[in-house]
Amino acid sequence: MQLVRLAAGVLDQTPLDWDGNRDRILEAIRQAREAEVSLLCLPELCIPGYGCEDAFLSPAVEEMSWRVLQEILPACRGMIVSIGLPVSLRHALYNCAALVVDGEIVGLVAKQHLPGDGLHYEPRWFKPWPDDAVAEVVRGDRSYPIGDLHFDCDGVVLGFEICEDAWVASRPGRELSTQGVDIILNPSASHFAFGKQEVRERYVLEGSRAFNVTYLYTNPVGNEAGRAIYDGGALIATGGKLIARGKRLGFEPVSVTHAVVDLELTGMAQARLVSYRPEIEDEDPCRVRSSFVWPELEDAVETELVPAEGWETSAAFKEEEFTRAITLGLFDYLRKSRSYGFVVSLSGGADSAAVACLVRLMVDLAWDELGREGFLSTLDYIPGLGAARTPAEATSRLLTCCYQSTRNSSDTTLNAARAVADAAGARFHHLDVDSLVDSYVGLVEGALERQLTWERDDIALQNIQARVRAPSVWLFANLERALLLATSNRSEAAVGYATMDGDTAGGLSPIAGIDKAFLRRWLRWLETEGPQGRGPIPALSAVNAQQPTAELRPPGEGQTDEGDLMHYDLLDAMERAAIRDKRSPKQVFRLMRGRFPKHSEAQMLEWTERFFRLFSRNQWKRERYAPSFHVDDENLDPKTWCRFPILSGGFDRELRELREAVAKRS
């Protein structure tokens, strides 16, 4: 047997937080050493943080990353550690993993495939490294090999696939397998999205099986830079079997997942393959040799598949995953922005109720994992929070809710808002803003010398009610040094069904990446079941019983969101077909007619036109939304996923041709 104890370190880093990032790296090394680990892999670009954006183009960032690496080296004695940082060579910047052996840098592996789609813009800052290329990088009075390298550490051969390298068809692992590599390290910065962990597990397992290696995958955790959430979820596989699985979406800033593997087993499996054809070269320019004393281990090697546990086995998996992703994002945003809490403008409807409940769940889940002492010490900068003895008391300090009524508001929504605030443990305020609305309307009527009426001025009279509520909640947020949370969702963003500087007001928009149909489903689940280990919030029944409504028109008109727009399930299906799948108006119309046959052709034509016109007309609103969490790789955020011109032809010709085609058939 050739037994090796190896580990994946998961870190919650922050861009350009040099001391904090260094200290978390050192803590991961300490935990690995305590577990008697010989080989530790840390996430991609973990020294500066993955989300530095255009700061990567500053030479000072590369220089500081190298200086911090020198500060870490002494802690790596007696171990092999992979540490991520940017490295410049010949006026180009590369995304690299430094392999440190016994406290010395033995080489730098440069990433070969750079993601440039959706959330990622790596080609803006980095250059891809060419296959089989090797060079030297000079720092101070020393030079180091850099490039497409693998490492022979006293007979144990290590190779790398850095994040995207493993997602492409021409992944480097195939070439590494012909070089007799025993272990492939994958330091990643792979953002959270629904269902994405299943894909990661597939390429880790298949890589370990097809290449007959031990495969070590690690990833950051937490809300690193504001929008992207990382879910951790370290994986260790050998010979096609997953033998260790780290926690996902946890609140601990550092965790280490380790396992013992028998490298002899994967070597023998490769030797048995008739198809295996190793590269035979006396001098391989891509191989770096270094000495390292591997400790002798007597541990039994467990190679059974490790199943998922806890909430990841839930029948309501997406609801659980959403809950944990958003609450982790809120917790990190709170502490990294040094805010004192959150303010939510509660309307008594689904969106604002969801945001308030997510704040309470943030407290509950973080308290459960970190314990009272860990929770309070993490947020020890917040005045008065240290006296909290329970999650409910902590929420009372951290969450303020405000219901602002006009003559068009109902007792139903007031009572629903109060019930949600009470269930969440929030402080609750009820303000009557009718006099403010009347004041603005009166001022404008005087200037125009005419009366504003619902028949003539419908949208303007609706919007002034939404906008007049923003100054009050901003005042609460300012007084409390808290984050004002906007409450708009993705379905509204698609068609601009939101009042700018009204319900879009806020510094963070936690549910803007979620469609309304799923959000309502999540609220019903939260009312009756709730997250594993926490239970339901029955008070949501008062919200879930209502039809979504803005309550901006006079009560007698029976205003509802779906009456103003269309059914939310249809709207969401149309958005995915038109925006995600880039279908034309004619194609979308045909798809929706087939999927929703109960609606007439004339009605579907009206809704299709409405969607495309509203979508193209309201790009400027999406550009102005507060930062939102990226939780779905099918969203509308123009800064991370979906770019569209602010000014466009508005699909005029396409919609005209659609109308003509429908008219010919009728």
Phi, psi for residue 215 in degrees, rounded to 5: -115, 130
What share of residues in the chain are helix, strand, coil (percent, to 5)?
Answer: 45, 20, 35
- Cβ-based neighbours of 598, under 8 Å, separated by 6 or more: none
Query: CA-to-CA distance for 628 and 511, rounded, in angstroms?
Result: 7
pLDDT, residue 305, reads: 64
Instruction: Show contacts of 131-134: CB within 8 Å, 24+ apart.
Output: 131/172, 131/175, 132/285, 132/286, 134/285, 134/286
Does domain 315-564 sit in CATH 1.10.150.120?
A: no
Listed by start position, the domains of the chain span: 3-308, 315-564, 566-666
- The answer to whether 424 and 543 have CB atoms below 8 angstroms apart is no
- What sign for the dihedral angle of Cα 267, 273, 274, 279? negative
* Contact predicate 68/47, CB 8 Å: yes
CATH of 566-666, one of 1.10.10, 1.20.50, 1.10.3470, 3.90.105: 1.10.10
Query: DSSP for 169-214?
Result: TT-THHHHHHTT-SEEEEE---B--TTHHHHHHHHHHHHHHHTTSE
Other C-beta atoms within 10 Å of 99: how many?
A: 28
3-state secondary structure labels for all residues of 612-662: HHHHHHCHHHHHHCCCECECCCCCCCCCCCCCCCCCCCCCHHHHHHHHHHH
Residues 6+ apart with CB under 8 A from 573: 591, 592, 595, 596
pTM confidence score = 0.94
Calpha distance 82→42 (Å, rounded): 6
CB 218 within 8 A of CB 8: yes
**How many other C-beta atoms are found inside a 10 Å radius of the C-beta of residue 501?**
13
344 touches 509 (CB < 8 A): no
The pLDDT of residue 413 is 93
- Taking domain 3-308, whether its CATH number is 3.60.110.10 is answered by yes
CA distance 558 to 547: 10
> What is the pLDDT, as a whole number, of residue 2?
85
Q: How far is the CA of 379 from the CAs of 15, 331, 359, 371, in angstroms?
A: 19, 9, 15, 13
Same topology between domain 3-308 and domain 566-666: no
Consecutive sets of 10 residues in the chain, 666 residues long: mean pLDDT of each?
Answer: 92 98 98 97 98 96 98 98 97 97 97 91 95 93 95 95 92 89 97 94 94 96 95 95 95 96 78 62 82 82 68 94 98 98 96 97 97 97 96 97 93 95 97 95 95 93 94 96 95 91 93 93 97 94 87 80 88 94 96 95 96 95 93 86 92 95 86
pLDDT for res 633 = 84
Three-state DSSP at 57 gives helix
* Distance of alpha carbon 649 from alpha carbon 154, whole angstroms: 65
435 burial level (CB within 10 Å; 0-12, 13-18, 19+): exposed
Gap between the terminal Cα atoms of the chain: 77
Pairing of strands 104-110, 229-231: unpaired
Neighbours of 624 (CB within 10 A): 11
The one-letter code for the residue type at 256 is V
The CA-atom distances, in angstroms, between 609 and each of 382, 550, 562, 594, 666 are 50, 23, 16, 17, 18
Q: Give me the sign of the Cα torsion angle 584, 585, 588, 594.
A: negative
What span, in angstroms and rounded, lies between the C-alpha atoms of 238 and 380? 42
Three-state DSSP at 259 gives strand
Q: Which residues contact 469 (CB under 8 A, 6 or more apart)?
A: 345, 404, 433, 502
**Residue carrying the six token digits 């709207």:** 571
